[in-house]
Chain A
Amino acid sequence: MFSLKKRSAQITGAIFLLLFLSVGSTSQVQPFLKLSVRDYEEFSRVIIAPSFPLSFEIEKGSSFLLVKIAIDIPFRIQREPFDSLIIKSFGWTKGRDYYILTIKTKIRDFGYEYFVINDPTQLVIDFREEVEESRGDREIRSLLDSTLSREQEQLLGEEIQTIVIDPGHGGRMEPGAQGKYGTLEKDITLALALKLKDVVERNRPVRVVLTRDTDVSVSLENRAARANSEKADLFISIHVNSSFRKDARGSETFFLGTEASDDETRRLAYLENNPADVERGIGGDNEDEIAMILWDMAQSAYLKESSLLAETIQEELNSLLKTRNRGIKQIPFKVLTGVACPAVLVEVAFISNPDEERMLQTEWFQNNVVEAIYRGVESYIDRYTRR
């Protein structure tokens, strides 16, 4: 009995030794790769930490990233459970001497950045939500970037001889917006327009016409018609803004929008093929339907220039005034429709904001606004017109 037990003990011991050796040897050699995901405020981070030297390539798909890892021996994958806003799941595929890790994302378009840390080796990939440029910004950018057609260059080549400035609102029935301290928009716009006329005429051999120079009411269509009858080369409408938001502040420059419907595309095509009609119809006298159509489309021929003028003016307002930059936008303003030359509407500040309302009442602020608009116009003339 004794001898049997010893024997079995020996055998068991031997078996265990063998097992231990075999297990021990593989665990010492087998490589592994650790995958972890962590969400940060602006991005999600994937960390790939292999126990072997890393040689990789990355390729991007629309909602996944492929990481091709060069290795031809099997390895263990250790993955931490995760719950991420951007990272959806991982998948693995094997090639002859490589593995491909597919990182699937929850969002369609994402941006990524990666870097490698050594010692211990780590491949860190940060995933970000790609902020798509909005359609409006893209349209504006393409307008600004687009090269001028030959016709447009010819138009621009003309010297700026007449500028029409339009002080918004006016008259008893149309005071425009009113501030908490009783300031009326129509008074501010007139003050600014008179100052601007003065500054332009003192610095340039340009004729400046105001659509009103006293507190009278002028219809929106008449303001545009005046620009055309005076043969304006530039049209600037000056306004003061108002919002439902108490905190709204800053300056903004607008030019006309391009929402061409099927009808409008056809009419624009007509305009382009019949430039003589543009001359004839624009005066506003003609009651024809064609004249009305031409009136509606008149500004379309000048959108490129209008966008450039809006840009130069807004640039100057931003830097001189340091008011909050609200940028340039395309909006269907009634007063700009029908103007047959580069035309913009400038909202200088918010009368609905008591702080800005107070500033608007000061000589200092008014002079600075006028200076900024003048510099914007000067910049436009110098950059885009030939003398």
Chain B
Amino acid sequence: MVLAVLVIIFFTSGIKDKIIPATPIPPPEVEPIPAQPGQTRTVVLFFLSEEDTFLHPEEREIPDDTSVVRQAKRTVMELIKGSQKGYISPFPPEARLRELYVTDEGVAYVDFSKEIVEKHLSGSSAEISTIFSVVNSLAYNFDSIKKVFILIDGRERETLGGHINLSRPFLPMYDLIAR
């Protein structure tokens, strides 16, 4: 009988104690914790094909990141690296990304070094491919990017190769993409 009472006291006292969690539970709506190394996300890149006049999608894995700017930069760098599926890259091989930033209004400024101009093919078709490969790849993958402004060596330039006006930001042209 005494034993029973002791047992009861033992157990009930245990139940009364609060459970203290090992780590504090974060409040809602807080910055998500940066992804663990090794986590990736898929982005869609747009390249040319010998088959037709359209841009073609190709998936690529990039490190997952809370920063849209970092992911966008990486996306453009992957574009410049070229296709891994045999598509044609609309960039001169010497093209290099210098900088990329995104304004609050959703305009991404993509700053290439001058090689993209110096080594460009100079043709409307070639220029359209280069520009919209970048514009479409960014607008498609990132909701916060609505328009893309292309800079060369940190400055505004009239055109890439004498044709398309670079002095205004571009909206994506999804008509150029193969169905």
| Chain B residues closer than 8 Å to A351, beta-carbon distance | 123
Q: Are A244 and B126 in contact (CB under 8 A)?
A: yes
Q: Are A252 and B165 in contact (CB under 8 A)?
A: no
Q: Are B163 and A333 in contact (CB under 8 A)?
A: yes
A267 to chain B, nearest CB (A): 12
A288 located at the interface, meaning its Cβ lies under 8 Å from any Cβ of chain B in the complex: no
The count of residues in chain A whose C-beta lies closer than 8 Å to any C-beta of chain B is 37
Task: State which of A135, A241, A244 has its C-beta within 8 Å of the C-beta of B124.
Answer: A241
A67 located at the interface, meaning its Cβ lies under 8 Å from any Cβ of chain B in the complex: no
Residue of B nearest to A256 (CB): B165
Q: Are A241 and B162 in contact (CB under 8 A)?
A: no
Q: Are B162 and A169 in contact (CB under 8 A)?
A: yes
Task: State which of A137, A169, A331 has its C-beta within 8 Å of the C-beta of B128.
Answer: A331
Chain B, residues 147-170, CB within 8 Å of chain A (1/0): the string is 000000000001100111111101
B173 to chain A, nearest CB (A): 7
| Chain B residues closer than 8 Å to A248, beta-carbon distance | 53, 125
Bound form: Cα–Cα A177–B163 in Å: 11
Task: State which of A136, A240, A332 has its C-beta within 8 Å of the C-beta of B168.
Answer: A332
With A332-B165, A333-B164: A243-B121 Cβ-Cβ less than 8 Å: yes
B53 to chain A, nearest CB (A): 7
Summarize A's interface: helix, strand, loop or mixed.
loop
The size class of the interface chain B forms with chain A is: 20 to 34
B101 located at the interface, meaning its Cβ lies under 8 Å from any Cβ of chain A in the complex: no
A311 located at the interface, meaning its Cβ lies under 8 Å from any Cβ of chain B in the complex: no
Q: Are B125 and A243 in contact (CB under 8 A)?
A: yes
Bound form: Cα–Cα A254–B125 in Å: 11
A4 located at the interface, meaning its Cβ lies under 8 Å from any Cβ of chain B in the complex: no
Q: Are A337 and B171 in contact (CB under 8 A)?
A: no
B117 located at the interface, meaning its Cβ lies under 8 Å from any Cβ of chain A in the complex: no
Bound form: Cα–Cα A49–B53 in Å: 44
With A245-B48, A245-B50: A334-B123 Cβ-Cβ less than 8 Å: no
Mind listing 6 A-B residue pairs with CB under 8 Å?
Answer: A137-B175, A244-B89, A244-B90, A252-B124, A331-B164, A333-B165
Q: Which residues of B contact A (CB under 8 A)?
A: 48-50, 53, 88-90, 121-126, 128-129, 158-159, 162-168, 170-171, 173-175, 179
The 4 closest A-B pairs by CB, nearest first: A242-B123, A136-B175, A134-B175, A334-B165
